[in-house]
Each structure stands twice: as structure tokens, then as C-alpha cells.
Chains A and B, each alone.
Chain A
Amino acid sequence: DSGVTQTPKHLITATGQRVTLRCSPRSGDLSVYWYQQSLDQGLQFLIQYYNGEERAKGNILERFSAQQFPDLHSELNLSSLELGDSALYFCASSVGQGREKLFFGSGTQLSVL
């Protein structure tokens, strides 16, 4: 158990809908990261937050947004969902924003039908 909690584990929805994925980092970790994993694209970095502030952005679509709250948990919002958004979404956390290792949650499997 990495200590990173993601909910829900599975999510099935329809095209055009909006969903929210939630992540609670390890106790004491200030950085939260979101990654998308699909069969053809591998693990792709979406966004990083550090202590409530956006720190780095990857290839995150404009239909996607995220935030980190004062209690350090984070939410990833996906809207106007398309079939191609079906993927495993991972949250990870780390103590700071140096070169320390990331701890990954077990992921949310999103299926868009």
C-alpha cells in the first residue's frame, strides 16, 4: 500500500458527461501529480500541484482541470467526455518538488461508453 488513496476505483459514464476523480496524498506529502495511462500512449503526465499551487503542466486537455485543496487532497475534473478519454488515471504524491520518488495510487479506471 503506497499510502495514496484514489476514488472511485472504477467509473463508467457516457460521452459528453463530466466526472470528478479524487486523490488523497500520503500523509506529509505536499506535491500531487496526475497521470493518464492508456494502451497506446503509456503513462502521460497531466499536471502537478505543490501545496495548492499549480507547479507544472503536461499535455492536459482544456476539457480537463484539476485543483489541490488546503487539506492537500486533489481532484481531477474531466468534462465533455469522449470515447478516447477512457483510460487509467493515476494520482501520485511526493514530499516536495525536488527529485524525490513519487508514490502512486492504485488508479481510477474510466470507461466512456
Chain B
Amino acid sequence: EDQVTQSPEALRLQEGESSSLNCSYTVSGLRGLFWYRQDPGKGPEFLFTLYSAGEEKEKERLKATLTKKESFLHITAPKPEDSATYLCAVTTMIKAAGNKLTFGGGTRVLVKP
């Protein structure tokens, strides 16, 4: 069974204090790894998709990287508006699984001014 574990569960940062979030995964043939951002009471919002080890993607203050066992989401010089829960998810090569995403528990990030 596919498993996704995110750490830490919660992160408190000062504005400008860079940090990294970890996503470890176990999957039967990784088809894609996704990062989403979720604000309270709202649906997850897509950030990145990574498909193969060594791949990196960037968007503003966020950078996602992928290895064969884990992914990191680096937040550089965060601002209070970066406060959210960041979710990692994987999709597998197994045909019977369709295109379902298996999500981790998320990391709650709070950036204080």
C-alpha cells in the first residue's frame, strides 16, 4: 500500500527564516509526486508536480525537489502569507489505482511577522 509521511507536523517560522519540509514516500512505481497548499476551510491548491528523481521546480519563494525516497519543499525567506498547510501526495503506476492521489498528513506552517 502506498504511504506518504510528512515532517514536521507543524513549523513556526519568523518572517525571513528559511526552512524545509520533508515528504517521505513508499509507492509501487511512482508516477508523480505533488505538492499542494491548503488554507483553512478551503480546498487544496496545486503547487508542483515532480516526476523523476533529480527534478526540481520553483515558484516564488518555494522550491520542490525529488529523490527516489523523498521530496523536500524549501521555503526561502517566507512571508506571513506563506502560512498554510502544505500537503504532499503521490500517484502510482498501478493501473487499478486510476489517478488517485495518496496524501500525507501535511505540515502546518505558521510564519510570524
Contact = CB atoms under 8 A, between A and B. Distances in A.
Secondary structure of the A side of the interface?
strand
Given A55-B98, A56-B98, A99 B49 contact: yes
Interface residues of A, number: 29
A31 interface: yes
Given A43-B103, A99-B31, A99-B32, A48 B98 contact: yes
B14 to A, nearest CB: 27
Contacts of B45: 2, 104
Contacts of B100: 33, 45, 48, 56, 58
Interface residues of B, number: 26
Contacts of A106: 41-43
A97 B103 contact: no
Contacts of A31: 99
B106 A42 contact: yes
B102 A104 contact: no
A52 to B, nearest CB: 14
Interface in A38-87: 42-45, 48, 50, 55-56, 58
Contacts of A42: 103-106
Nearest to A45: B100
Interface string B8-36: 00000000000000000000000110101
B80 interface: no
Interface of A: 2, 4, 31, 33, 42-45, 48, 50, 55-56, 58, 90, 92, 94, 96-107, 109
